[in-house]
Amino acid sequence: MIQPYPIETRGLTKKFGGVEALTALDLRVPRHSIFGFLGPNGAGKSTAIKLLLGLIRPSGGTGAVAGYDIVHESVELRRKVGYLAQEPRFYEHMTARETLRFAARLFYTGPAGLIEARVNESLELTDLAGKADRPVKGFSGGERQRLGIAQSQINHPELLILDEPAAALDPLGRRDVLAIMERLREHCTIFYSTHILEDVQRVSDTVAILNRGRLLAQAPIEELLAGDGQAVYTLAVKGDDTEARRAAAGQPWVLDLTVVPENGHSRWTVRVTSEEAAEAELLSLVLNTGSVRVAEFSRKKFSLEEIFVNMVGGN
């Protein structure tokens, strides 16, 4: 039976010597999603990953990965999961092909030809086919990370868990890793921890934010970027906007209105409780009040960094 959630936890908790590193974590990771697991250093991300992989036992709560209980079926779940550590290690004298062949034999016992086909497929997927027979000791940081991803998915996992997969890479290396992640989502679910918010906003469709061991938010990224239900609109208004400003501020769906002079016009920021009312009425209200012109009108788009800092900074 296909599990609706490759990762599902309820009240998952971990204490170390009386200190709670993870508190009542409830996660549901959708199938074939790229799920960004965010948090500052010390937030509990690594502890959560170790629990999900069955490497440590929880102090409380439950969890299932690929349909297997993380405590009682940890060996079985690791057959269905691929994992990439933050700093993967390899035998330096081996080539990329030899490395993947070695990893594949841990999972496959079939004909050598089929194993070799899987190795070649993984090399192509991670753009390492042209470097397949070079010793790993000569690989760049980005090439090592791509080899790590190739190795982690050699067993056709249902779920791929990546711990900071692009943290130490330059922009080109990060771009390559993100492109591979997007390719892999066709075959599996990707759950990855990171602190690079720009990358999350680019490739993730679902996000969870953790801080001090507690889950602050979990939602599709578009929902998270929409704010807390209070939409914000910006207008560039030219002319005497005193009357228009008073009329707009008096609407029951306007929470607050701030104005800042900017290059010969006024920049309005209007926070509202009703997106529907704002889009139906705000622009016409301003244009029909006084002698003003509106040069710009748009809904403000929040960045993930803004959302993250607001949440983590207040906790």
The CATH number for 53's domain is: 3.40.50.300
Token pair belonging to 189: 């679910």
168, 192, 225: which is the final residue of a domain? Answer: 225
How far is residue 58's CA from residue 76's CA, in Å, rounded to a whole number?
18
Residues 187 and 246 in one domain: no
210, 225, 240: which is the final residue of a domain? Answer: 225
Tell me whether residue 314 is in a domain: no
Residues 205 and 237 in one domain: no
Count structural domains, the chain: 2
Residue showing tokens 């959708």 = 30
Tell me whether residue 240 is in a domain: yes
Which residue pairs from 43-47 have beta carbons closer than 8 angstroms and sit at least 24 positions apart in sequence? 43/210, 43/211, 43/212, 43/213, 44/14, 44/210, 44/212, 44/213, 44/214, 45/163, 45/193, 45/210, 46/163, 46/193, 47/14, 47/21, 47/22, 47/213
Residues 89 and 133 in one domain: yes
Tell me whether residue 121 is in a domain: yes
Burial of 279 (0-12, 13-18, 19+ CB in 10 A): middle
Residues 63 and 88 in one domain: yes
pLDDT of residue 311: 85
Tell me whether residue 315 is in a domain: no
Residues 169 and 238 in one domain: no
Residues 219 and 236 in one domain: no
Contact predicate 236/262, CB 8 Å: yes
Residue showing tokens 């990439």 = 84
Contacts of 278 (CB under 8 A, 6+ apart): 231, 233, 253, 270, 272
Give the pLDDT of the chain (315 residues) as one tens digit per residue: 566 799 999 999 999 988 999 999 999 999 999 999 999 888 999 999 999 999 999 999 999 999 999 999 999 998 899 999 988 899 999 999 999 999 999 888 778 888 999 999 999 999 999 999 999 999 999 999 999 999 999 999 999 999 999 887 888 889 999 999 999 998 899 999 988 888 898 999 999 999 999 999 999 998 888 765 568 999 999 999 999 999 999 999 999 999 999 888 999 999 998 989 999 999 999 999 878 999 999 988 788 888 888 888 766
Q: How far is CA 48 from CA 128, 153, 228, in A?
A: 31, 21, 26
How far is residue 250's CA from residue 207's CA, in Å, rounded to a whole number?
36
Contact predicate 74/66, CB 8 Å: no
Residues 132 and 248 in one domain: no
Cβ burial 78-97 (10 Å sphere, 16+ → b, else e): bebbbbbebebebeeeebbb
CATH number of the domain encompassing residue 249: 3.30.70.260
Residues 209 and 277 in one domain: no
Tell me whether residue 1 is in a domain: no
Burial of 130 (0-12, 13-18, 19+ CB in 10 A): exposed
How far is residue 284's CA from residue 307's CA, in Å, rounded to a whole number?
30
Contact predicate 196/272, CB 8 Å: no
Q: Give which of 119, 120, 164, 165 is closest to 142, Cα–Cα.
A: 165
Residues 179 and 268 in one domain: no
Tell me whether residue 304 is in a domain: no
Residues 212 and 240 in one domain: no
Tell me whether residue 306 is in a domain: no
pTM of the complete model:
0.81
How far is residue 152's CA from residue 154's CA, in Å, rounded to a whole number?
6
Residues 208 and 78 in one domain: yes
The domain in which residue 214 lies consists of 7-225
Tell me whether residue 210 is in a domain: yes
Residues 161 and 268 in one domain: no
pLDDT of residue 1: 52
pLDDT of residue 315: 63
205, 225, 245: which is the final residue of a domain? Answer: 225
Token pair belonging to 310: 């607001």
